Structure 1
């Protein structure tokens, strides 16, 4: 019998070798999240078994929207599912409110009021979480931040 821990060890070995494909990352995320089968994951996601299994078996590609949905359910990042890298350990690429801007140089942004930008960013995160349950695609999020910033009195 293969345990989840054994599966995670195999996944980490593959990651170190840089061999994981997108569909393999999807399977790894599902297993890490504790779903024993693709069918169980499909049920939890409210989608057809055949569609999910086709994504996991690489018979059908999945897009950023699908990846965001899977990432929320399996507690990994959309970026990791789509592009690889190191598997997120806690399923979160979020920062606490105090540190979320510490890793970014905001001086060269198109935003003339950094505090207004931070307010817009936090509001966009809140809305995104309320509407879709977590992180969506980055382009939509950036548009949302800009729209909120604009509403708060940003550049016209």
Structure 2
């Protein structure tokens, strides 16, 4: 039997819109895919985890923030070509509220993955944006008509 390497399989990530007034929490990525682009907090979906559980875990691991009222928003299908090795990533976008008690501020808990976290005006976002987020800007409004 011939030694054949397996085909690459899609990876699943969860990205979380955390909103404050008309601003959204973003950080500058330090990973190989999307290096130096601005992205939402999030990470890889683990086996057996719900989207909500992943959003809750990843936001806390990356920013130290506790979140609540987690809801599904949308999904994007993305293929990245890096150094001849494509990566197929399905990104599940969620919306959540930062828990009000106690008053929380984002911390940069994973400095190897992100330079810092800050709140940016949705109508004046920093550039460049991470590809999956960029797909949504202009065609999608994360701000619900009702408060979450």
TM normalised by structure 2 equals: 0.25
Larger helix percent = 1
Larger Rg: 1
Q: TM-score, normalised by structure 1?
A: 0.24
Higher strand residue share = 2
